[in-house]
C-alpha cells in the first residue's frame, strides 16, 4: 500500500462529518469541505446543493498544487493557508495533516478572524482523526482484505458494458 492510500470506515466518515459540521456552525460558514490533494471530494457539509462541488474540489486541488509549486521556488515546504476574498463570498483553504485540504466558504455572517480561529481548532481535531486512521491501518492491515472480493467480482464483460447503457 502506498503512503497515499487511506481506508475510511463509516465511523471515520461520521467523525469527519461531525468535525466539519461543528466547524461550519461555530464559524458561521455556508459550506465546509474536505478534498484530497488529487482533487477528490472526501466529505462536505452545508449548502452543497447550491454549488458545483465536483468542480470546486478539482479547482481547489489545482490551486493548492500551484501554490505548492510557488512554495518550493521559495524554499518552503508548503503554504499552509490560502485565502480568496470576494465582495460577498470568501474561501479559506488550509492543508491538514499534509494530505488533505480543508475548504471553508463564508460570507458576511462571519469574519476572517473567526474562521481562522475555528479552522485552527478543527484542523487539530482532523489531524488527530487522520493520525488515528493511519495508525489503525498500520496496526490492522488485514481488515482491508475485505474489499478484495467486492472488486474481484467485476468482470471484463461488466467493463465492456460501460458506456453502452
Residues that bind another protein (CB under 8 A): 1-2, 4-11, 13, 36-40, 42, 52, 54-55, 58-59, 61-62, 65-66, 68-69, 136, 140, 143-148, 150-154, 156, 158-165
CB of 33 vs another protein, minimal distance in Å:
14
CB of 83 vs another protein, minimal distance in Å:
20
CB of 4 vs another protein, minimal distance in Å:
6
**Between 81 and 133, whose beta carbon lies closer to another protein?**
133
**Between 87 and 158, whose beta carbon lies closer to another protein?**
158
CB 32 within 8 A of CB 24: yes
Return phi, psi of residue 133, to 5°.
-65, -45
The three cell numbers locating residue 85: 476574498
**Between 50 and 151, whose beta carbon lies closer to another protein?**
151
CB of 105 vs another protein, minimal distance in Å:
18
Nearest to 124 by CA among 7, 19, 17: 19
Query: Residue 114 belongs to what H/E stretch?
Result: helix 112-139
Q: Which residues contact 70 (CB under 8 A, 6 or more apart)?
A: 79
CA distance 118 to 101: 15
**Between 41 and 92, whose beta carbon lies closer to another protein?**
41
CA distance 155 to 151: 9
**Between 3 and 113, whose beta carbon lies closer to another protein?**
3
CA distance 123 to 143: 27
CB of 114 vs another protein, minimal distance in Å:
30
Amino acid at each position: 500500500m502506498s503512503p497515499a492510500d487511506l481506508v475510511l470506515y463509516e465511523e471515520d466518515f461520521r467523525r469527519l462529518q461531525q468535525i466539519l459540521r461543528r466547524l461550519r456552525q461555530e464559524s458561521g460558514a455556508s459550506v465546509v469541505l474536505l478534498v484530497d490533494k488529487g482533487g477528490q471530494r472526501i466529505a462536505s457539509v452545508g449548502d452543497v446543493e447550491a454549488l458545483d462541488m465536483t468542480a470546486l474540489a478539482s479547482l481547489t486541488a489545482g490551486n493548492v498544487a500551484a501554490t505548492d509549486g510557488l512554495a518550493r521556488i521559495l524554499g518552503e515546504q508548503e503554504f499552509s493557508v490560502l485565502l480568496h476574498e470576494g465582495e460577498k463570498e470568501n474561501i479559506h483553504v488550509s492543508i491538514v495533516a499534509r494530505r488533505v485540504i480543508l475548504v471553508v466558504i463564508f460570507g458576511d455572517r462571519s469574519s476572517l478572524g473567526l474562521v481562522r480561529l475555528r479552522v485552527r481548532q478543527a484542523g487539530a481535531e482532523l489531524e488527530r482523526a487522520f493520525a488515528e486512521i493511519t495508525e489503525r491501518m498500520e496496526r490492522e492491515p488485514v481488515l482491508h482484505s475485505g474489499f478484495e472480493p467486492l472488486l474481484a467480482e467485476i468482470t471484463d464483460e461488466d467493463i465492456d458494458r460501460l458506456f453502452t447503457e
